[in-house]
Amino acid sequence: MPKFAGGRPSKLTASQKEKLKKILEDNSNWTTKDVQLLISKKFDVEYSAKQVRIILGGFGMNYC
C-alpha cells in the first residue's frame, strides 16, 4: 500500500516557495494578510489566511 500525505498539491511550485521565502527573509515585517496579497500579486495564486499561516510555519517563520 503506497504511503503519501494526501491532500491537495500545493498551488505554488517548490521554486516559487523558495522565491517567496527569500522575499520574506529580506524584510521581516510581514503580516499574514501582507503575505497573502504578495502571493496573489507575484504568483497569481490565491490562498486563504489559514493556508498562508501553514506555509509560513513550514518556513519556520512566525506570523501575525
This prediction has a pTM of 0.82
In tens, the pLDDT along 13-63 reads 999 999 999 999 998 788 999 999 999 999 999 999 999 999 999 999 877
Residue 9 confidence class, pLDDT cut points 50, 70, 90: confident
Spatial distance between the Cα atoms of 64 and 55, rounded to a whole number of angstroms: 13
What pLDDT, on a 0 to 100 scale, did the predictor assign at position 4? 62
Dihedral in degrees, nearest 10, Cα atoms 10, 43, 22, 37: -100
Residue with cell 527573509: 25
Helices then strands, counting H and E runs in the chain, come out as 3, 0
List phi, psi (to 5°) of 2. -70, 150
